[in-house]
Amino acid sequence: MTIDLDALYTDLHRHPELSFQETRTAGIAAGHLRDLGLEVHENIGITGVIGVLANPSTGSGIQGPVVWIRADMDALPVKEDTGLPYASTATGVDPDGDTVPVMHACGHDMHVTAMIGAVERLVASRDQWHGTLVVVIQPAEEYGQGARAMLDDGALDRFPRPDIVLGQHVTPLPAGTIGLRPGPQMSASDGLTVTFHGRGGHGSRPQATIDPIVMASAAVMRLQTVVSREVDPHDLAVVTVGSFHAGTKNNIIPAEAKLQLSLRYPDEALREKVLEKVERVVRAEAQASGAEREPDIETLHVLPATINDADATARVAAAFRSAFGEASVIDPGLFTGSEDVSWFARDAGVPLVFWFWGGADAEKFRAAAAAGTLEKDIPTNHSPFYAPEMHPTIEVGVGAMVAAAREFLG
């Protein structure tokens, strides 16, 4: 029986789940993998799923290569505004205990759908290849912690170790387009929480307080100069303050203010420079405000750069050109977004190939590009308006994963 991928996608889109809470999604993925004949293991790294299909060469008993193919499955605390008939109205409870809207604003529902479709095709064509296929359905990519959680739960020791790791991500490129490049594909990233400590008091007597809101606000503005004034224009770095929380009432000056930062860089050398500069700004602004206590700087996650192996990427690119045509395969450049997929390859000491595939309406994309309105008219990942076109996005995602996996399966 053929899996209805349209129905799978719309169901997953309607029912998104936050990081490490993907129990329904994991159960659906595990059920499909089990129905396809894989040996399935659940609750790896809290909610992760791993399916194994051993397919030795007929007669010879040769086991062949081990290929890990990975899809992530968590959603984001975003209220969907796509207007789709299958739009999410779900809510969830975030790590702070707050009830938040939940949406597949990064396309991980498409990732799982394409993965199930790819496995179905690989199972159906198993007489044409040999080796071991390991399917990784990973939680908590959005926290940057899911891959690490699965590895810390013994994924490399409990299951066949990979000879290569493959992964893909849907983006607002034109549907039908595949983007990959050798070397750095996505930036390294650090997530930080900075807590400024002031002295609270009545809003009518600011002179008796040390105002952490003013302190943090000054830091937010000063942090914008780290990249614009302290990083070589030839280098690529991003410093984003994505969250600012302080206070409970208009006439109370609070005792503390919290910022959450997202930092991006292509390599370790620039990472060290940017982290040093960010810490210097944070501590200097606290001192300038007369803070009686040093600010706390907590690391939320550390993600390495996603670096594609040159030789393996050349093989995958050739397979994509053969499957989809020369014009469909592009070099998308270095993405300043970050991923945790490379932990699998790094810990195993094997090559990684990670690529992007387009999910935007091709005609709308071309029109927006011609008008210079891509940023406005084509929603990007993490936007409340983001949702890939179902077709041909599903078909290309399935075909790309199959083509890449078959390139390495004997």
Tens digits of per-residue pLDDT, 181-190?
Answer: 999 999 999 9
**Is the pLDDT confidence value at 65 over 80?**
yes
177, 181, 408: which is closest to 308 by C-alpha? 181
Whole-number pLDDT of residue 209? 98
108 among the known binding-site residues? yes
142 among the known binding-site residues? yes
Whole-number pLDDT of residue 410? 82
Whole-number pLDDT of residue 63? 80
Instruction: Tell me what percent of the residues of the chain surpass a pLDDT of 70.
Output: 99
**DSSP single-letter state for residue 85:** T
Tens digits of per-residue pLDDT, 82-93?
Answer: 999 999 999 999
Tens digits of per-residue pLDDT, 95-144?
Answer: 989 999 999 999 999 999 999 999 999 999 999 999 999 999 999 999 99
**Is the pLDDT confidence value at 61 over 70?**
no
Whole-number pLDDT of residue 64? 87
φ/ψ (deg, to 5) at 299: -90, 120
- Give me 303's structure tokens: 């993600």
Region 58-69: mean pLDDT is: 80
- Give me 258's structure tokens: 């919290």
Q: 63: how many CB neighbours lie within 10 A of its CB?
A: 15
197 among the known binding-site residues? no
Q: How far is it, in rounded angstroms, from Cα 174 to Cα 197? A: 47
Whole-number pLDDT of residue 97? 96
Task: Render 186-244 in DSSP notation, one character per residue.
Answer: E-EEEEEEEEEE-B-EETT-GGGSB-HHHHHHHHHHHHHHHHHHHS-TTS--EEEEEEE
Tens digits of per-residue pLDDT, 311-365?
Answer: 999 999 999 999 999 999 999 999 989 999 999 999 999 999 999 999 999 999 9
Tens digits of per-residue pLDDT, 259-299?
Answer: 999 999 998 899 999 999 999 999 999 999 999 999 999 99
φ/ψ (deg, to 5) at 390: -65, -40
- Give me 240's structure tokens: 């984003």
**Is the pLDDT confidence value at 58 over 80?**
no
**Domains in the chain, CATH or no CATH each:** 5-185+305-408 (3.40.630.10), 188-302 (3.30.70.360)
Region 227-253: mean pLDDT is: 96
**Is the pLDDT confidence value at 15 over 70?**
yes
Average pLDDT over the chain, rounded to whole?
Answer: 96
